[in-house]
Each structure stands twice: as structure tokens, then as C-alpha cells.
Amino acid sequence: MSERIPRLNDPDWKQVSTLPIAENHEDLVPASLAQGTLACYPAYYKLGIPNAVPECYIRREVYLRLLSAARSLPEGITLLVLDSWRPYSVQQYLYDTLYNAIEQHWPYKSAAELEKLTREFVSLPSTNPKAPSPHLTGGSVDVTLLDSNGLMLDMGTLFDEATAGSHTAAFEELPHPGPHERHIISNRRLLYKAMTEAGFTNLPSEWWHYDFGNQLWAWYSGRQQACYGPTHPESLENRWRKEVDRRHD
């Protein structure tokens, strides 16, 4: 079994949002281009979440690093991308849905407490160019592993399960893990090792969430600045408009 997953502190979001962004204007590419090396299943689109897109868009360097992670895996194991760049409206939907569920369960908690609990699993929706939501940058990816039959490996909790068991190192802390728990630990370590060795950082509250290039990545990797700010896939209409504008300059 590979090395233990370290227990990291949750991000200090106020500090994370102050890290400067030196946007490098890297384009977004669809993860599905890597068919055969990566698997792509846009989970929120498949679930019918309003305004979710039918593709997993990622920054070009993120795409290349995902390929590196995928190629490091044992034979028969495939890296699956579940979500990456997402529109602001989808981020707002996810945040509101979890916030409302928590509020119904704990109606006596203050707004600040509800926000803190929600942000454990869903970042605050933001298009602020100085402090965007991580997934809005194209630098965040939600990933898991598939077996040789195309089925997801057992990670102990489901993708997007908002429980303490979803914390990346949760099973590492069991004093006497049984065979099933040891299997989960092995699967999480395999994913963590592949992703971190490819240059990604992990959000400690989510075993599936990894970052590269954005403020969250800069925070956990100890860098002074990020290189990805908010972005969006370029539409055909926008590209044509730019080309027409250039011709008439």
C-alpha cells in the first residue's frame, strides 16, 4: 500500500482570495479529447442540473497533467473526470441547494455558521476576477477511478457526498480498519498519489477535488500567486465576432 494521505487543514478562504492572479490566458479544452486515456462523464449535466454543460472543459495545462496522472495508473485502472469548469449559475445552484438542506436540518444556526458548513463542500459562487470560484477558473477537476469494467472504484463515499467520510484522509484516521476500509484507503491513496505527482493539490474535505493553477492550488502548494482566473469556453459566435472586428480594425 502506498504512503498515507496527509491530513491537511481546510483552506482559509479569506487568505486564499487575497492571493494575486497573473492570468496566463490559457485556453480551455474538452477533456473528452483524451478518449482512450481519460474517461469523461459530465456528472451535473447527466443529473439534469440547470445550465450544466455536456462536456468537462479544463485548461490546457490541466489537460496535459491529467494525461500524466492517467498514464501513471496501473493497467486496467482509468482516471474519470466528473466535473471541471462550471458556469456561475451551476455553482450558485449547488451552493444554494446544499445551504438550504443544511438550514432545514439546523434551523437554529446563524447565517455565518450555515455558510461555513456549506463551504466545506461547495465554494462560494463568485465571478470576482480577483477571487473567483475555483471551478470557474478551469483549474479545478473532480475525478475518481474506474476498474477494467468501467465501474467506479469504492472510495468509501459517493462523489459529492457531503459527509465527514468524504474528507480525503478520513479513512486514514481509523484506528483499526477492516478489510473493506483498507480497500477504500488503498483506492484513495492511488488516486491521491497519481494526482499529486502530476502537480495537483487536493481540497482536504473532498477526496475527488483537485486543483492546478488557481488560487486554491497556489495556497496549498505555497506559491505566491495563481495563474488562472475566471474564464469560459469560447463560443463560435464570440470567435466570429473577434475575427470580424480584427478585419475592420
Query: Which of 206, 234, 237, 243 is an active site residue?
Result: 206
CA gap 118, 138 in Å, rounded: 22
Q: Is 209 annotated as a binding residue?
A: yes
Q: Are strands 140-146 and 209-211 parallel, antiparallel or unpaired?
A: antiparallel
Q: Is 176 annotated as a binding residue?
A: no
Contact between residue 31 and residue 63 where contact means Cβ atoms under 8 Å apart: yes
Q: Is 96 annotated as a binding residue?
A: no
Q: What would you report as the CA-atom Rg of the chain, rounded to the nearest whole angstrom?
A: 18
Please give the C-alpha separations between residue 118 and each of 79, 83, 99, 122, in angstroms, as whole numbers.
27, 19, 5, 6
| Nearby residues of 65 by Cβ (< 8 Å), 6 or more positions away | 198, 199, 200, 212
23 is catalytic: no
- The residues that are catalytic are 206
Annotated binding site: 135, 142, 209
Annotated binding site for Zn(2+): 135, 142, 209
